[in-house]
Chains A and B, each alone.
Chain A
Amino acid sequence: MKVRLGNIELANPVIPASGTCGFGQEMSEWLDLNCLGAVSTKGTTREARYGNALPRIAECPAGLLNAIGLQNPGVDAVIAHEIPALRRVYKGPIIANISGFSIEEYAYVCERIDRETDAAILEVNISCPNVQHGGMAFGTSAQAAAEVTRAVKAVTHKPVYMKLSPNVTDITAIACACVESGADGLCLINTVLGMRIDIRRRQPVLANRYGGYSGPGVFPIALRMVNQVSKACPGVPIIGCGGVSSAQEVIEMMMGGASAVEIGAANLQQPGVCRQIIEDLPRVMRELKINHLQDIIGIV
């Protein structure tokens, strides 16, 4: 079940997605984190953030909207407390998810995480739909995405994966801009901007009005985008993400072009789902006559 992200080897392709496993601690009550391919930590910014007003969650038929707004304790606390706490229960690769409100902030946080933690990969979130003046603003313009990529690459030797937004007309343009600016890999997709209205109160369900949609409903969209990007940027490792909740979907995402797969919303419904998927994978591989997962990446 081994896969590679560039020159980093993962024991299997299954990774809990940023924002759906905290900093790992809470998930370790439901599974042994050491069974995972890697762990992607909660989006980290320079300052501590409370995030958006409540309610921040709205249910949908096949998933949910979230408008957390990047609640995190800030890079100092992440380095001093969260990563060391994660390390006490988890030995495998850490993917540090980083966010910002300016190019300088992205570079600052990446440099700190690079120097002061043993994270294996920096996952740079230029696609958060829930904050103003930042996040997705950098992921919906090829030029801004390129600038963030260059700024981050200049301050780190660690592999940089840019996390892309689906809220664009042509995701390959953004993907190519990141790769041309030095990105080592890509992660996609983040959430799809959406809305729910409480028809009795005649008001949005979310205090933030809009939020990011994820869960099973986005799987076909995510798969299509992973496939498009894998064709447009051959040879660039992709972490596929969006709506995955079974071993079959992990394999589908990999056939579409992903080298590894992140699981998001599914953890919220079943906090042990990543272990379940990892346990199911060998059987599903046998059924499909797959000897090595590495062989199916991007075959479709």
Chain B
Amino acid sequence: MKSEWHIVSNERIAERVFRMILRGDTAGIAPGQFVEVLVPGCYLRRPLSVGDVTDDRLTLIYKMVGEGTARMAQMSSGQTLDILTGLGHGYDLTKAGEQVLLIGGGVGVPPLMYAAKELRAAGKHVQVVMGFNSKGEVFGEDTFRAMGCEVTVCTMDGSYGTRGVVTDVLPTPTPFYYACGPMPMIKAILRTAGTNGQISMEERMGCGVGLCMGCTIETTEGFQRVCKEGPVFNAGALKV
């Protein structure tokens, strides 16, 4: 759905990481789905995961990496944005048992926040393992704890939490997991935690709505568009 959103707040929450809260029509937005933000001055929309939805508020958490996210970081409350919402297939939360594991890396963490909220509301026991490069980039820990999740943070340089990568600290046996993060992390998860989970993928997109075939990956179920059949895939379907 295409609609207009009003920026309620936009603040820095970690090194180069910002949280934007917007007001608008949140109907039908599910955990693991993404939105496409039309940033004035950029031709293509920017795909960003849904970090949270509460009433008429949508939370986006984004890292400033290039032109579009730098422009977003300059915006302030009162400004409006043209956003497509409800895009792609999100996490299938019905697959989770009583114990659930969420694995996130960097700005792969936001979609897990919304998933955690829903899983906690359904009474699940949620363990979260998050990885970051260093202390300055860590965010989300308090949010997960406030929901009643068990949280483990690791940093590559050891400046916060456990030194190392998420796959060093995964619980065994590994319960059904939901994951999102950079490609090296996804590969490591598939190697160490197996395929009993769902993973959100990231690709460059032309349209984000299934029109252009810009984002197609090969899966065990054939060619699938990350924006349409994804971004969340069953771990066993991925060929990475």
Contacts and interface: CB of A to CB of B under 8 A. Distances in A.
Contact of A57 (B209, B214, B217, B228): B214
Contacts of A272: 2
A59 interface: yes
A215 B217 CA distance: 25
A25 B211 CA distance: 9
Given A26-B228, A30-B2, A63-B43, A268 B204 contact: no
20 contacts: A19-B213, A20-B207, A20-B211, A25-B210, A26-B209, A26-B228, A29-B209, A51-B216, A57-B212, A57-B215, A68-B214, A71-B223, A216-B43, A267-B211, A268-B211, A269-B43, A269-B44, A271-B209, A271-B211, A272-B2
B211 A66 contact: no
A62 B41 CA distance: 9
Instruction: Pick the 5 closest A-B CB pairs, nearest first.
Output: A26-B210, A268-B207, A57-B214, A55-B204, A71-B213
B216 A268 contact: no
Nearest to A264: B212
B218 A50 contact: yes
Contacts of A62: 43
Nearest to A19: B212
B206 interface: yes
A226 interface: no
Given A26-B210, A271-B2, A59 B217 contact: no
Interface in A191-246: 215-216
Interface in B32-88: 38, 42-45, 84
Interface of A: 19-22, 25-27, 29-30, 42, 50-51, 54-64, 66, 68, 71, 215-216, 265, 267-272
A215 B212 CA distance: 14
A270 B218 CA distance: 27
Contacts of B223: 50, 71
Interface string B169-207: 000000000000000000000000000000000011111
A51 B215 CA distance: 11
A30 B44 contact: no
A268 B206 CA distance: 6
B213 A68 contact: yes
B39 to A, nearest CB: 11
B96 to A, nearest CB: 29
